[in-house]
Amino acid sequence: MATEGGKPHTAEAVSAPPAVELVQQAAAEQKIDPYTVSGARDAEGNIKAIDYEALRQRFNTPALTDEHLKRFEQVTGKKPHRLMRRRLFFSHRDFDKILDAYEKYGFFLLYTGRGPSSGSMHLGHAVPFLFTKELQDLFDVPLVIMLTDDEKFLYTRNKNEGKPTPGAALGDFIGYAFENAKDIISIGFDRKKTFIYTDYSHMGGHFYQNISEFEALLTNNQIRGALGFDGSTNVGLNAYAAKQCVAAFASSYPELFGYGDFRPGNWAERRPRKNVAAIPTLIPCAIDQEPWFRILRENCDRMEFPSPKTALILSKFLTALQGPGGKMSASDANSAIFMSDTPKQIEKKINRSFSGGGATKEDHEKYGGNPDVDVAYAYLSYFLESDEELSEIEEGYRKGTLSTGELKKKCISELQKFVGDFQERRSRVTDQVLEDYMTFRKLEYKGNPTPTVP
Ligand code: ATP
């Protein structure tokens, strides 16, 4: 319970003790980058909720406005997805330009990914993928999904000062990547328009040529500045930034657009790359990934075959079970609901999650609850489709007419349904289906099949 002494909550101060790991990570300032997500601490040392407005200003990424949503609706003819309507995707870079490009050329490239840190994805990972699927369906565009097994191996070794740890051998990450690919397929992506790869199995050819070129553009100082690395960071992790960045270029995969073939003898042929370099890319991801793509955007026009600055649409984090000062993360099993969890496990986890309800039934009825810090309410805002139902729940909870128990019950049943449906689809993803998505091939989508973007 978050309420102390019957006082109503404020969105800033979250007084319940979050996970030990989060407490240790938290600094006076909030810290958000691809490797750390933590709210700031208040004077008493408690972790505060993440301040997304402050973060957006620090990263200097524009807000997603009503105008963007209107334009999106005009271009697609569909109401924006709930994650966009509720500004859970809340910020962007050049989203307008992607809509312009779509109107002009009829397509763009979608790129997103996952660092396979565990055998099963969690609900937080489902957020960018759910949204990406919506974009793929609405725009009928090609999609590339990168599984960074190499990065997770390098990162884990780096964290453990180079020492091997159980479950973190190189081969373990390869295994997690393939399991995660099955999870991703189960979100429902259209096979004809989707290419999924793991770094260890795919890198080479045009992709690797782009990597080398990008590596030649970056200095260690730039990487350190953006990602907080220092001289003791292993060489692999420093070099990894170029791989993460050029994965966004259509020119890393001309074959997906019908240019060139994949025979090793053709890999030095550069024309295919030139033909597709001008295809614009949109990356849906949570805002912790933004530092990678800042490096990318700074260098798009410095490539031999320049690409437009990559566009981003950025989400907030599905909060940790312990409260809004941290994100749901696979590295802290207590923070997460995994896509492999049973209905019973989901029920237990939500019942123990951080609540914005009153300390006692009487307090709750008198002062109301605070949905702004309540985990069950936060999860409903991501997964409950009906805007009307969500706003009734919010109102009832603030007034105290809806109890914490009732709110949690609703959250449990929504999540059990979401995860149950996912698991049903997952049971049908055979090794053959996996191979189909992971075969490097020409993708089939509406719009310009062999693009000639100037
Ligand atoms: P974890 O700590 O759980 O392994 P991660 O940040 O390392 O998480 P990635 O696999 O690198 O996870 O992230 C894949 C995508 O999922 C990225 O777009 C990332 O921003 C997003 N993501 C990860 N955790 C969350 C979360 N709790 N809520 C929303 N998006 C998330």
pLDDT digits (tens, 9 = 90+) for 317-331: 999 999 988 899 988
Ligand 1 centroid distance, CA of 220 (Å): 25
- Residue with the larger pLDDT of the pair 2 and 81: 81
Q: Whose CA is nearest to atom 13 of ligand 1?
A: 114
Which sign, positive or negative, has the C-alpha torsion 368, 407, 331, 92? negative
Ligand 1 centroid distance, CA of 327 (Å): 8
* Site to substitute for ligand 1 among 125, 148, 243, 283, most atoms within 8 A of C-beta: 125
**68: closest CA among 94, 101, 104?**
94
Question: Residue 260's pLDDT band (boundaries 50, 70, 90)?
Answer: confident
pLDDT value of residue 451: 57
Ligand 1 centroid distance, CA of 305 (Å): 31
Question: Residue 79's pLDDT band (boundaries 50, 70, 90)?
Answer: very high
Strands 281-286 and 36-38, sheet pairing: unpaired
Tokens of 117: 């840190």
pLDDT value of residue 1: 32
CB 299 within 8 A of CB 275: no
Ligand 1 centroid distance, CA of 57 (Å): 21
Ligand 1 centroid distance, CA of 330 (Å): 8
pLDDT value of residue 345: 97
The string of pLDDT tens digits covering residues 181-233 is 999 999 999 999 999 999 999 998 899 999 999 999 999 999 999 999 999 99
CB 355 within 8 A of CB 48: no
Ligand 1 centroid distance, CA of 349 (Å): 19
**Ligand 1 closest atom vs CA 115:** 10
CB 110 within 8 A of CB 132: yes
Q: Chain-wide mean pLDDT for the chain? A: 90
Q: Whose CA is nearest to atom 20 of ligand 1?
A: 286
**Degrees, nearest 5: CA angle 243-247-251:** 120
Q: Whose CA is nearest to atom 22 of ligand 1?
A: 125
Q: Identify which of 37-41, 292-296, 328-332 has the greatest average pLDDT.
A: 292-296
Strands 89-93 and 311-315, sheet pairing: antiparallel
Q: How far is CA 408 from CA 10, 59, 389, in A?
A: 20, 34, 15
In angstroms, how far is CA 246 from the centroid of its own chain?
A: 18
Question: How many residues are present in the chain?
Answer: 454
**393: closest CA among 407, 411, 375, 374?**
407
Q: Whose CA is nearest to atom 2 of ligand 1?
A: 329
Q: Which residues line ligand 1 (CB under 6 A)?
A: 114-115, 117, 124-125, 127-128, 285-286, 288-289, 315, 317-318, 327-331
pLDDT at 28 over 70: no
**Ligand 1 closest atom vs CA 320:** 27
- Which residues are CB-neighbours of 147 under 8 A, at least 6 positions away? 113, 114, 115, 116, 177, 180, 181, 196, 197, 198, 199
Ligand 1 centroid distance, CA of 448 (Å): 32
Ligand 1 centroid distance, CA of 454 (Å): 35
Question: Residue 363's pLDDT band (boundaries 50, 70, 90)?
Answer: very high
The string of pLDDT tens digits covering residues 102-128 is 998 888 999 999 999 999 999 999 999
Which sign, positive or negative, has the C-alpha torsion 130, 440, 191, 109? positive
**Ligand 1 closest atom vs CA 118:** 4
pLDDT at 13 over 80: no
pLDDT at 453 over 60: no
pLDDT at 16 over 80: no
Ligand 1 centroid distance, CA of 166 (Å): 22
CB 145 within 8 A of CB 443: no
Q: Whose CA is nearest to atom 26 of ligand 1?
A: 124
pTM of the model: 0.91
For the chain, what is the radius of gyration of the CA atoms? Answer: 22
